[in-house]
């Protein structure tokens, strides 16, 4: 099994640093992941947040590409419904060329109301816009003239250049039936949460087969949410990380319109993987097993506001003591 880290460049007010410092620390962490033996690094996108959640993935991935040579570079997720597909095709091609053919493009429709309202896209259109984007990307990356007419996008006799070094693998993110069906219909890879109902994975694989795609050729990458923190002592580690995970969970609750938890002491600790390497490895095996054949697992490399040195220590412990257990 391969492992990747997931980064979001957040800078919460409670732990606010100069923005340049956050970006430099995070880029160093991404480059260091290659040296530690991680197979990939993934960035995720949101817009108009108070903590600076990374809004622009491909420039950041290109900066990581300049500091690395082997590690795969992915988006988990790029909000496809909020961007014009031709512009995305061009930006992705440039990022792929500058990285030497290392780009992996994870797409999701998005869910946060404020983003759709501010960027002038109807939230109800997000699924259809994402599907049309996939169709346009595939044609655009051939470098050949093409036209396309859908419900939301129309393209008349265009040629998109440059052509990427590889047609970047496209992943569809989410743990819903709609996401599984979308990925299966179009013959795309699937990127669900690790806790996704196994029936969703079965639906994905049967949909692939029903549309003429061999499921054995399509890998699954699973995201560990909300997080993984490797430490020598579980209780000490929990004291170090719990306020940061409380912030992380409450932000997601807020964006989904749900009530937050009053304090970090109210966190359901079983949601998180915190502890020594052997405990983390055991928990990962238990969580991966119901999903069947998972080729890669990714997880947040740095919880929001966590000091960089603590995040690096966790990643080093994971690389040295957890990854070898899955060799």
Distance spanning both ends of the chain, measured CA to CA: 7
Report pLDDT for 31. Answer: 97
What is the pLDDT averaged over residues 32-49? 98
Residues in a beta bridge with 273: 228
Helix (H) or strand (E) holding 41: strand 40-43
Report pLDDT for 226. Answer: 87
What is the pLDDT averaged over residues 265-279? 96
Q: Which candidate, 77, 68, 75, 76, places its Cα nearest to that of 99?
A: 68
Share of the chain above pLDDT 90, in %: 98
Q: How is residue 114 written in tokens?
A: 């404020």
Report pLDDT for 79. Answer: 98
Decide if pLDDT at 140 tops 90.
yes
pLDDT, the chain, mean? 97
What is the pLDDT averaged over residues 295-303? 96
What is the pLDDT averaged over residues 173-186? 95
Q: How confident is the model at residue 137 (pLDDT cuts 50, 70, 90)?
A: very high
What pLDDT, in 10s, does the model give residues 191-249?
Answer: 999 999 999 999 999 999 999 999 999 989 999 988 999 999 999 999 999 999 999 99
The burial of 214, by beta-carbon neighbours within 10 Å (0-12 exposed, 13-18 middle, 19 or more buried), is given as exposed
Decide if pLDDT at 99 tops 90.
yes
What pLDDT, in 10s, does the model give residues 46-73?
Answer: 999 999 999 999 999 999 999 999 999 9
CA distance 176 to 191: 11
Helix ranges (H only) for 141-222 are: 177-186, 198-210
Report pLDDT for 327. Answer: 80
Q: How is residue 77 written in tokens?
A: 């997720």
The structural domains of the chain, with segments of one domain joined by +, span: 2-228+275-326
Report helix, strand or coil for 194. coil
Report pLDDT for 221. Answer: 96
CATH number of 2-228+275-326: 3.20.20.30
Report pLDDT for 219. Answer: 84
Task: Please give the C-alpha separations between residue 138 and each of 73, 186, 317, in angstroms, as whole numbers.
Answer: 19, 10, 39
The reported pTM is 0.96
């Amino acid at each position: 099994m391969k492992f990747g880290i997931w980064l979001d460049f957040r800078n919460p007010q409670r732990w606010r640093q100069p923005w340049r410092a956050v970006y430099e620390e995070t880029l160093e962490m991404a480059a260091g992941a290659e040296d530690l033996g991680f197979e990939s690094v993934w960035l995720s996108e949101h817009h108009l947040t108070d903590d600076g959640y990374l809004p622009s993935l491909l420039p950041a991935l290109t900066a990581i590409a300049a500091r690395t040579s082997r590690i795969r570079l992915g988006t988990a997720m790029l909000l496809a419904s909020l961007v014009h597909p031709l512009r995305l095709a061009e930006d992705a091609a440039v990022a792929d060329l500058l990285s030497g053919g290392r780009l992996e493009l994870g797409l999701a429709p998005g869910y946060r109301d404020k983003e759709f309202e501010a960027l002038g896209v109807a939230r109800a259109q997000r699924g259809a816009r994402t599907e049309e984007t996939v169709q346009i990307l595939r044609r655009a990356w051939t470098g050949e003239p093409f036209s396309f007419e859908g419900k939301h996008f129309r393209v008349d006799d265009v040629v998109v250049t440059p052509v990427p070094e590889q047609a970047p693998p496209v992943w569809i993110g989410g743990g819903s039936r709609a996401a599984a069906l979308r990925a299966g219909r179009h013959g795309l890879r699937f990127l669900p949460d690790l806790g996704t109902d196994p029936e969703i994975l079965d639906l994905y694989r049967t949909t692939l087969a029903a549309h003429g795609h061999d499921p054995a050729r399509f890998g699954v990458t699973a995201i560990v949410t909300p997080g993984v923190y490797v430490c020598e002592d579980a209780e000490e580690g929990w004291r170090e990380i719990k306020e940061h995970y409380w912030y992380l969970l409450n932000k997601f609750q807020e964006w989904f319109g749900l009530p937050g938890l009053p304090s970090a002491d109210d966190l359901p600790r079983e949601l998180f993987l915190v502890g020594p390497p052997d405990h983390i490895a055991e928990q990962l095996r238990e969580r991966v097993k119901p999903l069947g054949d998972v080729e890669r697992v990714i997880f947040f490399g740095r919880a929001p506001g966590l000091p960089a040195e603590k995040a690096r220590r966790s990643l080093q412990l994971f690389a040295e003591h957890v990854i070898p257990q899955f060799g």
